[in-house]
Amino acid sequence: MFNALVVEKDEESGKTSASVQQIGEDRLPEGEVTVAVEYSTVNYKDGLCIGPGGGLVRKYPHVPGIDFAGTVEASDDDRYKPGDKVVLTGWRVGEAHWGGYAQKARVKADWLVPLPDGLDTRQAMAVGTAGFTAMLAVMALEDHGLKSGPVLVTGAAGGVGSVATAILAGLGHEVAAVTGRPEQENYLRGLGASEIVAREELTEVTRKPLESERWGGCVDAVAGAMLGRVLKQMEYGASVAAIGLAGGPAIEGALITPFILRGVNLLGIDSVMQPYDSRVRAWGRIAEDLPMEKLETMVQPATLSDLPQLGADILKGRVKGRVVVDVN
């Protein structure tokens, strides 16, 4: 028997409820590798899957947790043996498949990545899907060439934004952090931001075709009106890595002008179906380029029983930095 956060759905009312339960190993889904999970975390999608589902969960009862890190307990695949440290993000684990909010998980070997040297399982989940995606965004910006101006990070006090800020500053870039929470200024400066931009400065939709060139690159977790404005403020030839939609799914007020008059690039970043080689490269870069003392300042510890509340909080944008869930 092991502990798991189980979400059940009442078929009559359609309401879901989440509670920590003891379940038997025979209830684990099929898969080649059984992992003794050590840590998981809380992402926006987890908030949906702990709560009403957001159309992501296929079947109830469900164990959420879109990412986890732990130790291989049993493996039918030659690539993994008992004792190996592994990390998992994406592949719809925690949505369509049972996830990491449990002391055990069984998954396909293809979905796992060996933990790189220099990173332990707790640090891997302090990074989590949010931080992994932030690294993918930084790599995409590097591949397209960062320009001379500061790199803008939107939704900076959130998970993706906090890790992106720390990585970019650690690599020596000047970072401007957009936040709607002015009280987080000291936290963001501690991560390495040299400029704080108030959210309201970038949320008014304008019809201007272009604005003054300000940013040499951007990691955007927000979209909505903010992305529409930011595109018009990018330097000539600069790129925006679009990660998320915390401010809405549309790009409001967006015009074609930044693309055809300034050669601005909009780079889409997906972490879920990312190919294996690029996952290994990103985790390696995280171990090398993310200052671990800064990562520690982002961490809020939690246990399985804290998850129903944390799931509701992240949907309201109330979680700061990274939650690390010790499932044991």
Residues that bind ligand NDP (CB under 6 A): 43-45, 129-130, 133, 155-161, 179-181, 199, 221-222, 224, 226, 243-247, 269-272, 314, 317, 319
Point out which residues pair with 71 in neighbouring strands. Answer: 36, 85
Could you tell me the smallest distance in angstroms from the CB atom of residue 12 to ligand NDP?
31
Backbone dihedral region of 154: left (phi > 0), alpha (psi from -120 to 50 degrees) or beta? beta
Q: Which is nearer to ligand NDP, 130 or 324 (CB)?
A: 130
| C-beta separation of 245 from 179 below 8 A | no
CA neighbor of 126 nearest in space, from 323, 326, 327? 323
Q: Which is nearer to ligand NDP, 234 or 243 (CB)?
A: 243
Q: Which is nearer to ligand NDP, 6 or 49 (CB)?
A: 49
DSSP single-letter state for residue 234: B
Could you tell me the smallest distance in angstroms from the CB atom of residue 31 to ligand NDP?
22
As a residue count, the chain comes to: 328
Q: Which is nearer to ligand NDP, 6 or 221 (CB)?
A: 221
Provide the CB-side half-sphere exposure for 53 (13 A, CA): 19
Point out which residues pair with 104 in neighbouring strands. Answer: 36
Could you tell me the smallest distance in angstroms from the CB atom of residue 41 to ligand NDP?
9
Residue type, 95: E
Could you tell me the smallest distance in angstroms from the CB atom of residue 231 to ligand NDP?
15
Could you tell me the smallest distance in angstroms from the CB atom of residue 123 to ligand NDP?
17
Q: Which is nearer to ligand NDP, 117 or 200 (CB)?
A: 200
In three-state secondary structure terms, 301 is: strand
Distance CA 21, CA 1 (A): 10
Q: Which is nearer to ligand NDP, 245 or 255 (CB)?
A: 245
Q: Scan for tokens 């302090």, then name that residue.
A: 126
Could you tell me the smallest distance in angstroms from the CB atom of residue 28 to ligand NDP?
25
Which residue's C-beta sits nearest to ligand NDP? 158
Q: Which is nearer to ligand NDP, 6 or 160 (CB)?
A: 160
Could you tell me the smallest distance in angstroms from the CB atom of residue 322 to ligand NDP?
8
Distance CA 269, CA 182 (A): 27
User: Apex CA 243: angle with CA 241 and CA 244, to 5°?
Assistant: 140
